[in-house]
Structure 1
Amino acid sequence: MILLVAMVVLTLNMFLPALPHMAEDFGVSEATMGLAVSAYMVAAGVLQLILGPISDLLGRRRVILVAVAVYALASLGAAVATDFSVFLACRLVQALVLAGSVVGLAALRDMYTTREAAGKMGTIAAAMAIAPMIGPTFGGVLDTLIGWRAIFALYAGLGAACLVLCWFDWGETRVQVRRSPQEQMAAYRALLGSGLFWAYAMCTGVSVGTFYIFLTGAPFVAQASFGLSTTWIGVGLGSITGGYMIGSTVTARLAPRLGVSVLILTGRSFALAGLCVGAGLFLIGVSHPMVLFGATICVGLGNGLTISNTNAGLISVRPDLAGSAAGLSGALQLFGGAVLTGLTLPWMAAGATPLRLLALMIVASVVALGLAVLAARGAARQPQE
């Protein structure tokens, strides 16, 4: 499962340093080449909405085997494509790798209680948090030494290896429940009508949204306010991931004992407190990059305490529809991230100051904390596992 999650992350970011060379090779503009990112994100969001319900109906094993096999073939097609349209079509099909996160989350819930699943998710998140940092670096090395096609050939190889592992090691975890089409639709309506599900899902989305706000606004602030080089900006951007690794490690150890609500509330409170302390220091005249990145490390740690637990909570509202819940939540995270990125850019264009960035992140964190409180209250009325 760790390899599947790694493929999800690496498929998104490993090839990014090669985009200029790819645009030159295909003879297209950089804006057109950017479709390999933006169109992929749209396809990923849509496919999550489809893959989750299918895994609830047909089982986890079938979906993951088909998705990984097609992903490997699409990666190979992208590696040998000489026409941009063919490449883009293969790139969109690559979004099937999202089955790894959607079906993986559902499979964990099939096998474990809510608390145990949260702990397992924390372990996976802590192990894989390094992928966003090393993926682009390794992709840049491959592009420099061999060429960008080597990156997609590596994707194909990883897909083939994962297919073999899943074929021999991924047993069916879904307990089959025979339902008529009318009963299945009634179950979906019950999930969509659950306030607890939406509280968990929206808390996850807004918490992840603070990442997007930071990643979008921090480079402008670091350069305009502190004059940092791109190297140090990269180090600063990685700091929030370090905090996330710590928070996820804590989740892995404590979720089975404390439960998800305690850790979600702690995570959202810690993130908000760190941002408020940072904003307060800037207000009294303490202006230093360490203040900004120290505050955002708290956000990373808070998200590490939050996201695995909210994911475990939302797929436990209706365990028989864990795939549907995971898919819908994943799509909300992608589309919500796009919206928050779009809001952050004009906000920072009006003034790239640390206080403006922190203020926007504080607003998001307040909303996330409110949703966490609603989720905790709703969970308290549910049977405990």
Structure 2
Amino acid sequence: MSRAITHAEKPFMVAWLMIMTLLGVFPLDVLLPSFPALAEHFSTSTTHIAQSVSLFAIGFSCSMLLIGPLSDRLGRKKLLLASMVVAIMGAAGCLVAQNTPQFLFFRVIQAVGCGGFILSQALVQDLFSGREQERLRIAMVTAGGIFISISPLLGAWLQLHWGWQSSFYVFMALCATTLIMAHRLLHGGLPQAVPSQQHIFKAYAKVFGNGHFVSYATISAITFACHFSFIVVSPLIFMDHLKLSPHEYSLTLLLYGAAYVLGGVCAGFLHKRIPAPTQMAIGLKLITLSGVVMLLLAYQFGLSTLTVLVPMLLCTAGTTITRPISNSKAMSLFPDNAGTAASAVAAMLFIAGGLISALISTFTHHLSTALGLCFLILSIAALALNTWARRHPHVP
């Protein structure tokens, strides 16, 4: 399904892919400062609101499992436009929800629509080639980190002036704008779907039957789970336990964004100079170190902003160095099934992130210890997978 795009088209496509990257994180992160307000509005606890983020991630994953293979058969554009409409409907439903179950239901609908944004990864595979793909994925992961850090600050500002509902209005406006851009940019600008009778399950069986794909996708999922777990429990740590205001909390996440920028710069530097397995190993060892540092700081000094943020900055840099390369290594194995491969990788990311973050959020009084153990155990497992893939080269 791949085709080359012209030099003149590239800036517009890259800008559009970056906006899709923003929308992939915006509905999760912009609401973080509004957790207390949402809990008060729906008469529930902030812990339950935090767990709703994990539910969103799992619904997001289930949607992606269908969208990717269908886009290989029906074409990217149809699925993108339909998914954006569903996302807007879900966000509108959240605004009129009368109770927590209704709110959660419409959040899942919104998540199903947001699943279409994973096609940005398939579009990178479709429209770019070679090392350009890896450079663009590094840029997208870095941009995603910046958006993650900025979104809570925007959310705090929206919460202060217009309440939690305003974040859904902003999401709907962004989504509608992106829908219009997709319709215009992709007019005659995408490769046509390849007619196929291959069943969705057979497509996934083919992808998951490749041991190298599973290894690289699992490495990517592990690094994402470390990042996502922190995002989910960070309102509990900073606002519930450390009593930071929503504005103060959002400012702490700006440092988190700085770590993404630093990690992205390092990833770009390493990408030009060392092999991919070595780069992944460096990032994973940083995550291991972050787990050790978090456990030691928690033991010595207890819970504080610094004892959480210092190891998280190390973890974030490691994630940014590792994840785009592991994604590219996995995706490059199936260039003719880019939609299926993208969905498989992303579903693994969000299922792992959703389940692990839900588990960690149950350790209400030992969140930093649970995070540290998570980083340590998962990164060691990922290092083992990276070693296996390096010692058993893939034979096409």
Task: Return the TM-score normalized by structure 2.
Answer: 0.79
How far is the alpha carbon of 1:249 from its aligned partner?
3.1
Task: Please list, as runs of the form range in 1=range in 2, the aligned pairs for 1:37-186 lying within 5 A after superposition.
Answer: 37-79=53-95, 81=96, 83-84=98-99, 87-113=103-129, 115-170=131-186, 172-174=189-191, 176-181=193-198, 186=202
Which region of structure 1 is more displaced relative to structure 2, 269-278 or 103-112?
A: 269-278
Question: Which residue is equivalent to 1:29?
Answer: 44
Per-residue CA deviations over 1:319-343 (Å, capped at 9, x if unaligned) read 2222222222222222222332344
Task: Please list, as runs of the form range in 1=range in 2, the aligned pairs for 1:128-277 lying within 5 A after superposition.
Answer: 128-170=144-186, 172-174=189-191, 176-181=193-198, 186-214=202-230, 230=244, 239-252=255-268, 254-255=270-271, 258=274, 260-273=276-289, 275-276=291-292
- State the distance in 2 between where 1:234 and 1:167 align: 34
Question: Which residue is equivalent to 1:333?
Answer: 349
CA change 1:64–1:377 in 2 (3 A) is farther
Match of 1:373 among 387, 390, 393: 387
How far is the alpha carbon of 1:166 from its aligned partner?
0.8
- Is 1:119–1:254's contact at 8 Å kept on the other side of the alignment? no
- Is residue 7 from structure 1 mapped to residue 23 from structure 2 by the alignment? yes
Q: Which amino acid aligns with 2:123?
A: A
Question: Which residue is equivalent to 2:7?
Answer: none
CA change 1:173–1:312 in 2 (3 A) is farther
How far is the alpha carbon of 1:71 from its aligned partner?
2.1
Cα RMSD of the aligned pairs, angstroms, is 3.7
- State the distance in 2 between where 1:152 and 1:317 align: 38
Q: Classify the secondary structure of the residue corresponding to 2:225.
A: helix
Q: Which amino acid aligns with 1:381?
A: H
Count of equivalent residues: 374
- State the distance in 1 between where 2:279 and 2:198 align: 38
CA change 1:161–1:346 in 2 (3 A) is closer
- State the distance in 2 between where 1:35 and 1:341 align: 8
- State the distance in 2 between where 1:90 and 1:59 align: 27
- State the distance in 2 between where 1:135 and 1:16 align: 9
Question: Which residue is equivalent to 1:321?
Answer: 337
- Is 2:156–2:250's contact at 8 Å kept on the other side of the alignment? no
Per-residue CA deviations over 1:96-133 (Å, capped at 9, x if unaligned) read 44345410001101123353212101112222312222
Q: Which amino acid aligns with 1:9?
A: V
- Is 2:150–2:254's contact at 8 Å kept on the other side of the alignment? no
- Is 1:115–1:256's contact at 8 Å kept on the other side of the alignment? no
Task: Please list, as runs of the form range in 1=range in 2, the aligned pairs for 1:295-310 lying within 5 A after superposition.
Answer: 295-310=311-326
Q: Which amino acid aligns with 1:178?
A: P
Which region of structure 1 is more displaced relative to structure 2, 211-220 or 6-15?
A: 211-220
- State the distance in 1 between where 2:103 and 2:127 align: 38
Identity rate, percent: 22
Structure 1: where are the runs of 5+ without partners? none
- Is 1:17–1:140's contact at 8 Å kept on the other side of the alignment? yes
- State the distance in 1 between where 2:342 and 2:49 align: 30
How far is the alpha carbon of 1:254 from its aligned partner?
4.9
- Is 1:75–1:90's contact at 8 Å kept on the other side of the alignment? yes
